[in-house]
Amino acid sequence: MMPLLAIGFVLLHAMSILLLPGHAMAASYVFLVVAPLLACAFAVRRGLMMGLAPAQGWSLAALSMLLWTLGMASSLYQDLFLSNSNLAPGETMLLYILYGVPISYAVAIVGVESRSHIQRGIDAVLAALLGYLYFVLMFSWTTLQGVSSQQSAQMIAYMFDVENAFLAVMTTVRFFAADAPRQRHLFAAMASFTWLYGISSAYYNHHVALDISPNIGTLYDVMVDVPFLVFILMAWRMPSRIPLTLNPPLGLVRFVRIGSPLLLALSVLAIALLVLRQRFALGVAGVVIAVIGYGLRSILSQVRQIETADRLRSDHTMLAELALHDGLTGLLNRRAFEEAIGREWRQALRTQQAVSLLLIDVDMFKQYNDRYGHLAGDACLRDVAAILTQAVQRPMDLLARYGGEEFVLILPSTPLAGAKEVADRLCKLVRQLNLPHDDSPIQRITVSIGAASIVPTHDALPDALIASADRALYEAKRKGRNRFELAT
């Protein structure tokens, strides 16, 4: 339905010119004002659906269309009310060329992460400066009444060509690099418009306005409708209907996201260089602001990236710590123990000092769980883990949950006699907890411990030490529990 309405709009425009030859200019102006005004309205409509924040882009597209509408309305006023037949009245030309500022701003900020208000402020200052430089440059060739020579009019036409080509290329790059449906939808509409507008305006400005028909009111005017009608059709479509099969390379997406803010600074720099000949001080100021603005923005981006990297490192460290800790007791887990025993084994092998190991098992823990429930069992393990942690006196000693109701304690640089003292102390401390256990012979929680000690050799592995401690633990349980045994 919408394509048919667009075709009908073009045909109606053409018919009004043909059927009202005496009022062709006024009739044509109606369509030339309504077309961009409708484009503005459809951009606002899409903005209300997607969000009117500048970072969404549709409000900037609407502003661009509004500026162009005002330019055409100014041209209408000059022709119909002031009878000013000059090719390029300054006010009109300025509004026409300013339409590109919001699009340049959209290219620079849409889809670009910029949480900093300072960065957004820099972008806004550069956009405002770009508009002012356009104003100065435009009025170096024309006045409010218009240009004084054909050469000045041609310079303005060439300026339009350069601006339109720049906008067409940049919006196309953003379209192909967009990896989100909403961004691709926006830049599909902008790219379609800027290409069609650039081509039609180049033909119209050079071949029609500056050559065969300087005045509005010919069938050539119909071509001006087309870019705006295509934009309306694109804005009307839902994002899901815009082709998403391009699948841009991740490298291109990242490059465009990082480089997009540079485009605004480059635009300011280019126009400032053109202004240098007419207003040297202003041109230099524009160059300096463009360079400093982009430099400051880049510094802020680097700061944000460093902050993000620091947070990621912190999160990675925290996750690594969590991966090595038991969620129930807070002790190191079996994975951490296996890494530690290998490390301590290699150290003891180099120094030829003994390393001891204690395997600690909560006695009759299955019966405890069956009688008191698993929540009570978890609380019991936490209490036992806490008292064992308090009993570990040296920073080099390592206590871990081995699995289930079993704990393991590594005692570096400790002979069997030292391991015996530690095992005896642990048994006593757990008994002193006085955690009730009705199925235990002594009516409270106790532990059995198997202790082993070895001086590592090149032909032995840590598994030998673990196996010795496990045999000693089995012997302690066989002899009645609530005790420790030493490996022989």
- The mean pLDDT of the chain is 88
The answer, yes or no, to whether residue 68 has pLDDT greater than 60, is yes
Residue ending a domain, choose from 315, 348, 370? 315
CA distance to 101, 367, 378, per residue, from 185 (Å): 20, 66, 55
Domain check: are 353 and 226 in the same one?
A: no
Residues 58 and 43: beta-carbon distance below 8 Å: yes
Domain check: are 269 and 373 in the same one?
A: no
Three-class DSSP category at 96: helix
- Alpha-carbon distance of 39 to 32, in angstroms, equals 11
- The domain tally of the chain equals 2
Domain check: are 166 and 303 in the same one?
A: yes
Query: Is 121 within a domain?
Result: yes
Confidence of residue 245 (pLDDT cuts 50, 70, 90): low
CA distance to 117, 170, 448, per residue, from 246 (Å): 33, 17, 66
CA distance to 150, 278, 282, 439, per residue, from 136 (Å): 20, 9, 9, 95
What is the mean pLDDT of the segment spanning 199-223?
84
pLDDT of 261: 77
pLDDT of 147: 63
Query: Is 236 within a domain?
Result: yes
Least confident range from 17-26, 301-310, 439-448, 479-488: namely: 301-310
Domain check: are 292 and 353 in the same one?
A: no
- Residue 384, token pair as written in the block: 């036992």
- Alpha-carbon distance of 144 to 486, in angstroms, equals 103
Domain check: are 69 and 165 in the same one?
A: yes
pLDDT of 134: 84
What is the mean pLDDT of the segment spanning 421-437?
95
- Alpha-carbon distance of 364 to 447, in angstroms, equals 9
The answer, yes or no, to whether residue 450 has pLDDT greater than 80, is yes
Query: Is 325 within a domain?
Result: no
The answer, yes or no, to whether residue 398 has pLDDT greater than 60, is yes
Query: Is 168 within a domain?
Result: yes
Nearest to 288 by CA among 133, 170, 136, 156: 133
N-terminal to C-terminal alpha carbon distance within the chain: 92
Confidence of residue 69 (pLDDT cuts 50, 70, 90): very high
Confidence of residue 383 (pLDDT cuts 50, 70, 90): very high
The answer, yes or no, to whether residue 242 has pLDDT greater than 90, is no
Nearest to 447 by CA among 371, 387, 369: 387
Q: What is the CATH number of the domain that holds 470?
A: 3.30.70.270
pLDDT digits (tens, 9 = 90+) for 1-48: 888 999 999 999 999 999 998 899 999 999 999 999 999 999 999 999
Domain check: are 252 and 346 in the same one?
A: no
The answer, yes or no, to whether residue 244 has pLDDT greater than 60, is no
Kindly list the strands in the beta sheet with 355-362, ordered across the sheet, starting from the edge strand earlier in the chain: 398-403, 406-411, 355-362, 447-454, 484-486
The b-or-e profile of 374-389 (16+ CB within 10 A means b, else e) is eeebeebbeebbeebe
- Residue 375, token pair as written in the block: 């929540």
- HSE-CB for 287 with a 13 A CA cutoff: 10
Global pTM value: 0.64
- Provide the CA 125 distance to its chain's centre, in angstroms: 23
pLDDT of 262: 81
What is the mean pLDDT of the segment spanning 109-127?
79
Domain check: are 262 and 144 in the same one?
A: yes
Domain check: are 83 and 115 in the same one?
A: yes
Query: Is 324 within a domain?
Result: no
* Bridging pattern class, strands 447-454 and 355-362: antiparallel
Domain check: are 292 and 405 in the same one?
A: no
pLDDT of 239: 66
pLDDT of 425: 95
Domain check: are 243 and 376 in the same one?
A: no
Residue 400 DSSP one-character state = E
Confidence of residue 145 (pLDDT cuts 50, 70, 90): low
- Alpha-carbon distance of 88 to 157, in angstroms, equals 9
Least confident range from 24-38, 120-134, 207-221, 377-391: namely: 207-221
342 CB neighbour count, 10 Å cutoff: 12
Three-class DSSP category at 278: coil
pLDDT digits (tens, 9 = 90+) for 314-352: 777 677 666 789 989 999 999 999 999 999 999 999 999
Three-class DSSP category at 162: helix
pLDDT of 195: 97
What is the mean pLDDT of the segment spanning 53-66?
93
Rounded percentage of the chain residues whose pLDDT exceeds 90? 54
Residue ending a domain, choose from 250, 284, 315? 315
The answer, yes or no, to whether residue 104 has pLDDT greater than 70, is yes
Residues 115 and 304: beta-carbon distance below 8 Å: yes
Query: Is 365 within a domain?
Result: yes
Three-class DSSP category at 471: helix
Place of tokens 């069956």: 370
Segments forming the whole domain that contains residue 345: 334-486
- Alpha-carbon distance of 134 to 136, in angstroms, equals 6
| Range of 39-48, 110-119, 245-254, 275-284 with top mean pLDDT | 39-48
pLDDT of 410: 96
Least confident range from 12-16, 49-53, 187-191: namely: 49-53
Query: Is 133 within a domain?
Result: yes
- Alpha-carbon distance of 475 to 481, in angstroms, equals 9
Domain check: are 228 and 260 in the same one?
A: yes
Dihedral through CA 124, CA 130, CA 135, CA 137, nearest 10? 170
- Alpha-carbon distance of 442 to 432, in angstroms, equals 12
pLDDT digits (tens, 9 = 90+) for 455-479: 999 888 999 999 999 999 999 999 9
In order, the DSSP letters of 117-161 are HHHHHHHHHHHHHHHHHHHHHHTTTB-SS-BSSHHHHHHHHHHHH
Tally of residues, the chain: 488
Confidence of residue 88 (pLDDT cuts 50, 70, 90): low
What is the mean pLDDT of the segment spanning 212-227?
87
- Provide the CA 195 distance to its chain's centre, in angstroms: 29
Residues 269 and 291: beta-carbon distance below 8 Å: yes
Three-class DSSP category at 409: strand
Query: Is 239 within a domain?
Result: yes
Residue ending a domain, choose from 249, 284, 315? 315
Place of tokens 């947070």: 311
Domain check: are 224 and 83 in the same one?
A: yes
